[in-house]
Each structure stands twice: as C-alpha cells, then as structure tokens.
C-alpha cells in the first residue's frame, strides 16, 4: 500500500511541482495519474522510489515512512517501468529480463527460466525473441520486455511512467488489454502515469486527475466520466466522454440479440465477451449485416449477437447508472 500524506515538492528554482498531495493506493490496486504536461505526475511517481525527495510531507509504503528506508533496498521492492524502456543494448531479451533477479542473487538458470515464463506472459515467445537484441525488436515489443523485466524481480509495487507511450494506438490498446489480464493474475500495487485520459480510464481501478500540482478528482473511472468533480475535470474529460465510456464498457454488459440469424446467415465477425464496446463498434462499422457474433473467451462458443441497438442500450444504461 502506498500512502501520500500532505506531500509537497518545490524544486530549487522555486517551481512547486506538487502541493499538499494526499491519497492512497490500496494493495493490489492500479491507480492511474493523468493530467496535462507539467502538472506533476512524474514528480509524484519519482518520490515513491526516492529518485526525488519531497520538500515536506510523508510517503508511506505498507505503513513504513520511506524517508527512513535505504534507497537501494527500497528500489528493489519497487519495479520501475519507463517509456524509454532502458534495455541494455548489448544484452539479449532474455538476459535483459533476468537482470534484476540475477543481481539479487537468484541462480542464473532459475532467473532465466523465470524470465522465459514472463516473456511468454507478456506475449513474446522466448524461443523466438529471447535471443534477440533490443534493436531487433519493434517499439511495442521493447515495451513488453520492459514490463516483463519489471515483473521479473517480483516486486509488490510497480511504478509505470507512460509504459505504453511509444506505440501506435492499435498496438497500444492490445498491450493495455494484455497488461490488464496480467494484472488480474499478479495483483501488484501499481501507480501508472499517463497523459492519455483513455488509457487512464481503461487501466485504472481509480484515477487521480491532476490539475497544476494538485489532484482535482480521485475516483473510479465511471465516476470521473459520469460526475466530474470540478469544471476543470469536466473540461479535461471533454465533450466526447460518451465515446470514452465505450472504451470502459464491456460487451458483456450489452443486451445480446438471439443467435438465430434474421437473414439465414451466421455473423461473419466476432468479439469476445470481455472486449470493449469500442472494439465491438469498430467491427460493427465494417459489417454490412449490422451484426457481429459474441463469443465466450473460455470455450470459444458463440453466445449471442451484438447490434448497434445493443451498443446504444448498454451505453444509455451505463450513463444512467453513473448519474
Ligand atoms: N528538476 C526540476 N527543476 C525545476 N522544475 C522542475 C524539475 N523537474 C520538473 N520540474 C517542473 O515541475 C513541474 C512538474 O513536472 P513533472 O515532470 O512532474 O510533470 P508531468 O506531469 O510528469 O509532465 P509530463 O507529462 O510532461 O511528463 C513542471 O512545471 C516542471 O517544469
């Protein structure tokens, strides 16, 4: 658990990056920090692993004041993923992933076996990618290695600064979905910085919306979208929040139509129950029939059919629930 108590950071030149910050990240919770450039997100994050020291206030990790901890020991407990992944160019993907466990004394064979497992978890076949060097990977693949490497040390806490920033929107959404599935199994306590509201909404159990150096709203995604706490948040969330709601509402929440096809034809495209309505709508827009099949991700069986009306009704319901 991470707890900020009235934390202020003033840089030597007089810039107040964050002022009187108080919030808590529960164990196993993923909190996203979102806001415009320069609002203090990165400063907040770097104070947790003591790359930056607060001017005043306290930060507690599992009840312990981190000011009293040895920074090196502290950083071993806290994984850190940054946008410019920082992989060692002269080490292979497998070696990069196994670096931290080996540093802290895990036998080489064991560290490598675990690294291979984690590469597999983030969707990189170790047999294909393990022996490659970072320059032989795409940006998205490098970011996956960054995530695998941070998880390899099995830290209870992860700090992630724009971890999916360097990739195009389609790959980004796929990485986010894979990461969410992974988080459901590993349940780390995560603080994730992004300037992208959609990413914050999709990934966060709760979101901290930053204004200039302060948190304007700290709440669940649906609350931030449905009931912005201040005019500033309303402006940041924007007029297109209906579209953003598509990204956070699962197909499973929609009313599905009967499987029996009206025109005698089976649906030609499918989405899984766990997919977002946004993904479903993108597919629907390409289907002349105006309907797509919905499958159970475990069995692969077709469980119903989604139509534009189904999407509309689900969105309407989501909006009423938030109001
Ligand atoms: N070392 C420093 N000295 C002085 N001011 C700094 C320093 N580092 C950051 N700042 C200032 O503190 C404020 C917050 O910076 P920070 O990097 O935390 O913002 P951010 O929200 O992460 O921005 P971005 O999204 O652009 O990365 C900014 O006004 C920035 O210019």
pLDDT tens figures, 132-154? 999 999 888 888 898 888 888 78
Looking at ligand 1, which residue's alpha carbon is closest to its atom 30? 38
CA distance 11 to 52: 10
Cβ of 77 less than 6 Å from ligand 1: no
State the chain's mean pLDDT as an integer: 87
pLDDT value at residue 247:
78
Q: How far is the CA of 45 from the centre of ligand 1 (A)?
A: 11
ipTM: 0.94
Cβ of 14 less than 6 Å from ligand 1: no
Q: Which of 306, 192, 175, 311 is nearest to 245 (CA)?
A: 311
Cβ of 165 less than 6 Å from ligand 1: no
pLDDT value at residue 65:
95
Q: What tens digit of pLDDT does each residue of 19-52 get?
A: 999 999 999 999 999 998 889 999 999 999 999 9
Dihedral over Cα of 270, 175, 26, 230: its sign: negative
Q: Which of 34, 13, 3 is nearest to 189 (CA)?
A: 3
What values do phi and psi take at 27, rounded to 5? -60, 130
pLDDT value at residue 61:
95
Looking at ligand 1, which residue's alpha carbon is closest to its atom 31? 38
In this structure, the strands spanning 30-34 and 206-210 are parallel
CA distance 61 to 49: 10
162 versus 177: which is more confidently predicted?
Answer: 162
Q: What's the mean pLDDT in 311-319?
A: 80
Q: What tens digit of pLDDT does each residue of 104-131 get?
A: 778 889 889 989 988 988 888 999 999 9
Cβ of 9 less than 6 Å from ligand 1: no
Q: Which of 151, 188, 219 is nearest to 30 (CA)?
A: 188
pLDDT value at residue 205:
94
Question: What percent of the chain has a predicted confidence (pLDDT) above 70?
Answer: 96
Q: Which atom of ligand 1 is nearest to the CA of 210?
A: 21
Looking at ligand 1, which residue's alpha carbon is closest to its atom 2? 11
Cβ of 37 less than 6 Å from ligand 1: yes
pLDDT value at residue 282:
87
Looking at ligand 1, which residue's alpha carbon is closest to its atom 17? 42
Cβ of 36 less than 6 Å from ligand 1: no
Strand order in the sheet with 16-25: 16-25, 2-10, 56-61, 64-65
Total-model pTM = 0.78
Looking at ligand 1, which residue's alpha carbon is closest to its atom 28? 38
Q: What tens digit of pLDDT does each residue of 250-303 get?
A: 888 888 888 776 666 778 889 998 888 888 888 888 888 888 999 998 888 888
């Amino acid at each position: 658990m991470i707890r900020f108590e009235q934390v202020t950071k003033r840089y030597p030149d007089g810039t107040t990056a964050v002022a009187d910050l108080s919030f808590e990240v529960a164990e196993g919770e993923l909190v996203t920090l979102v806001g415009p450039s320069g609002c203090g997100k990165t400063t907040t994050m770097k104070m947790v692993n003591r790359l930056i020291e607060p001017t005043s206030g306290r930060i507690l990790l599992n009840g312990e004041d981190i000011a009293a901890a040895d920074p090196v020991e502290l950083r071993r407990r806290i994984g850190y993923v940054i946008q410019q992944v920082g992989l060692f160019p002269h080490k292979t993907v497998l070696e990069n992933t196994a670096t931290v466990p080996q540093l802290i004394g895990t036998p080489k064979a064991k560290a490598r076996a675990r690294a291979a497992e984690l590469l597999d978890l983030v969707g990189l076949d170790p047999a294909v990618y393990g022996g490659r060097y970072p320059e032989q990977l795409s940006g998205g693949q490098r970011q996956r290695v960054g995530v695998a490497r941070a998880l390899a040390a099995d830290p209870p806490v992860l700090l992630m600064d724009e971890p999916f920033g360097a990739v195009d929107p389609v790959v980004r959404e796929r990485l986010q979905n894979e990461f969410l599935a992974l988080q459901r199994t590993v349940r780390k306590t995560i603080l994730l910085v992004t300037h992208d509201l959609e990413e914050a909404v999709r990934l966060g159990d709760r979101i901290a919306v930053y204004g200039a150096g302060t948190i304007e709203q700290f709440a669940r995604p649906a609350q931030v979208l449905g009931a912005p706490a201040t005019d500033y948040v309303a402006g940041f969330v924007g007029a297109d929040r209906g579209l953003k709601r598509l990204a956070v509402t699962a197909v499973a929440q929609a009313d599905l139509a009967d499987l029996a096809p009206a025109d005698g034809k089976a649906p030609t495209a499918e989405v899984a129950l766990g997919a977002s309505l946004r993904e479903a709508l993108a597919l629907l827009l390409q289907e002349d029939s105006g309907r797509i099949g919905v499958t159970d991700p475990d069995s692969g069986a077709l469980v119903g059919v989604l139509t534009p009306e189904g999407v509309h009704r689900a969105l309407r319901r989501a909006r009423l629930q938030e109001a």
